[in-house]
């Protein structure tokens, strides 16, 4: 994981690279959202995080980042 891009009450977002084809030359800029441990232990927050992921996976728009699971 790279530098912290942002942090909120429930999670931290890190800069990262998504390797395509196993090569660093083909890496895509990415962001990874990681729940804080105490947030991940809360069933309501965990469910909301999972729901957010499911919605993001379905969205397709040029001004919205593509989500990967």
Q: What are 30's strand-pairing partners?
A: 16
Closest C-alpha to 49, from 8, 4, 19, 5: 8
Tokens matching residue 68: 């990967």
Give the helix/strand (H/E) hosting 53.
Answer: helix 43-58
Which letter does DSSP use for residue 1 in this model?
Answer: -
How much is the mean pLDDT over the chain? 87
User: Predicted confidence band at 68 (pLDDT cuts at 50, 70, 90)?
Assistant: confident
User: Predicted confidence band at 17 (pLDDT cuts at 50, 70, 90)?
Assistant: confident
Give the helix/strand (H/E) hosting 26.
Answer: strand 23-35
Say whether pLDDT at 21 is over 80. Answer: no
Rounded to two decimals, what is the model's pTM?
A: 0.75
Q: Alpha carbon 63 to chain centroid distance?
A: 16
Say which residue, 22 or 60, is predicted with more confidence. Answer: 60
């Amino acid at each position: 994981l790279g530098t912290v891009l942002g942090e909120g009450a429930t999670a931290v977002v890190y800069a990262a690279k998504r390797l395509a084809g196993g090569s660093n030359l083909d890496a895509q800029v990415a962001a990874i959202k990681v729940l804080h441990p105490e947030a991940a232990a809360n069933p309501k927050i965990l469910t909301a995080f999972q729901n957010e992921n499911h919605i993001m996976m379905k969205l397709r728009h040029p001004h919205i980042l593509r989500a990967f699971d």
